[in-house]
Amino acid sequence: MKLARRLLGGVRRLGAAWLACLLATVGPAVADVAWDFDGVERVIAISDIHGAHQAFVETLRAASLVDEGLEWSGGRTHLVIVGDILDRGDQSRAAMDLLMKLEAQAAAAGGRVHVVLGNHELMNLVGDLRYVSLGEFKAFAAGETPLARNTAYARHIADARRAGRSGRRLSREEFDARFPPGFFAHREAFSASGTYGRWLLGKPLALRINDTLFAHAGLGQALADLSLETINGSLRGELVAYVQLLEQANRNGRLDPTVDFYDLASRLDAQADPTLRGLVSLQRSLVHDEASPLWYRGNAGCGPLIEQERLARVLAAFGSRRVVIGHTPTFRRQVWRRLNDQVLMIDAGMLQSYYAGRGAALLLEGGALAAFYQGAAGPSPVDELLSRMGALSADLSPADLETALAEGAIVTRRAAEGGELLTLRWKTTEIEALFVPAGAGQQSFPDVAAYRLDRMLDLAMVPAAVVRKVDGRTGTLRHQPRSVVSEAQRAASKVRLPNWCPMEDQLKAAAVLDALIANAPRPATSLSYSIGNGGLILTGYDAAFGTSPAIPRHLRRAPAAINGLWRLRLAGLESAAARQQLLEVLTVPQYEALLQRARALAAG
């Protein structure tokens, strides 16, 4: 709530009258946007085409939306493109042209084609062109004359002179390499009055059909203070205003089209020129922030204890049951449901050359869900994505991973800090695991207990661990996830990690776990992160599971992170099934103390 107010407030200081005046210069197709529909019987949703035109066509055919001639055959179906038509793949222009044709044909048949803006549409509109492929520029090359390029180079020289120290003058060879054939025609086409810019600016940031929302990346709690009218009105209006102002700055010579979005604020003339100052101010809009519906990954990346209840509040504020998202390529490149079916994830990595995925289409019809996949003969079910499936899973289900640890054949072994590092083969999968022999008289296995607790809580932060005999010695065998960096390594090398789930939220959840098990303060070596998504991975339980019922002093603020789902899961630790599982790896006094701490945490 504070974030939304702060970010929107920064733009409001420019003046409502100024923004209204600017928006008034934009035509009706941009000013009006449809985003709310009821009584729709059949909906197909597709996301993240990324220029994979042929895969997109095959996906449309799999969902029976187009015939062999690429004419609309979907009747009254509503097709929703959940963002990211553009970037990385070479044929994004062909995909847009097809969608523009299908819009008219679907409407004539009583159906509808909707496009929800994604972050890559936003980037192309505002001049952040990091991911535009050479093929995408080449698709516009025929509309760019030698005179236009010569004029553009002359403007670049003049603009570099105006920018002062922040401007770099390129040689002609450098200029042509950095801004390849088609670059300037591409920028014109994505301007506010250009063919594709005008089309995209008429699209919503979020769409509601029946009881389902469609947002490219996800819905964070920063949006709960806004309405869908505000998101598709004034918030989208700030994007419209930016693109309109950018076009004006380019046309009147105040800004060269080659200036990157991120370089604008550092220019010497950015504050002196009112037009550029307006652009810099609009860059602080929520639409560009990680909390934006075009960027937020928490619905895909946060576990249920962090995300499920707060998403429920956002959905309730919008009067909806669930949200369909793209943006985050899915595990095993298929359509999933998660967070108590509040989230449907549909980005199956259509651009195979980059994401190694396939085209996917989600079907919503009569309360039922199904998925169509590129080249498949019929629909497939939409399964639940378990929280642990991903960085911690070695591409196995939790049960299969436990079996692999318990029964996998030892292929290689070598000494490692604290034990022995084993490579195990189970069926066609190889995994690494750390074996630590039990000490003399050891009665509990804290790493295994922490893992079992993690599964009961659905926290998905503790690597899988089992009790196993190796060479006649009983001990703990703990899975070692690949592509992981420890906090000590991260701090030393300053590695930048993805942020699929806010780290502050992950650390709060980890603190609750440590309070529950009465763990000692964690050293940097027992905190690790998945390089792929920034997910927190916790090890180091030798000092945990004490028999005192007291929560350690350094963790007594942990209850601040506890919500209703936490309380439900904590209460479940008293069940007969939980008792049986935990008493296999804990002593009775340890388990009883654990329950007392769980009650204290639940009571706040």
207-209 and 36-37: which strand pairing?
parallel
78-81 and 409-416: which strand pairing?
unpaired
Query: How many Å apart are CA 223 and CA 567, to the nearest integer?
Result: 26
SS (H, E, C) 523-571: CHHHEEEECCCCCEEECCCCCCCCCCCCCCHHHCCHHHHCCHHHHHHHH
| Domain(s) of CATH 1.10.510: residues in the chain | 398-603
Mark out the alpha helices in 356-425 (DSSP H runs). 398-407
CATH of 398-603, one of 3.30.1420, 1.10.940, 1.10.510, 2.30.30: 1.10.510
Question: Among candidates 243, 208, 200, which has minimal Cα distance to 229?
Answer: 208
On the question of pLDDT at 31 being above 60, the answer is no
Give the chain's end-to-end CA distance (angstroms, integer).
Answer: 24
The fold for domain 2-374 equals Purple Acid Phosphatase; chain A, domain 2 (3.60.21)
Mean pLDDT of 176-185: 95
pLDDT for residue 102: 98
Tens-place pLDDT, residues 384-398: 998 888 889 999 999
| Domain(s) of CATH 3.60.21.10: residues in the chain | 2-374
pLDDT for residue 26: 42
Block residue for tokens 């039990």: 438
On the question of pLDDT at 115 being above 90, the answer is yes
Question: Among candidates 216, 235, 270, 257, which has minimal Cα distance to 82?
Answer: 216
User: Is the model's pTM score more than 0.85?
Assistant: yes
pLDDT band at 164 (very low <50, low <70, confident <90, very high): low
Tell me how far CA of residue 206 lies from CA of 68, 214, 561, in angstroms: 31, 6, 29
16: CB partners within 8 A, 6+ apart: none
Q: Which pair of tokens denotes residue 362? A: 């989600």
Proportion of the chain above pLDDT 70, given as a percent: 94
Mean pLDDT of 561-589: 96
- Please return the burial class of 52, using the count of CB atoms within 10 Å of its CB with bins 0-12, 13-18 and 19+: buried
On the question of pLDDT at 16 being above 80, the answer is no
| 8 A C-beta contact, residue 484 and residue 528 | yes
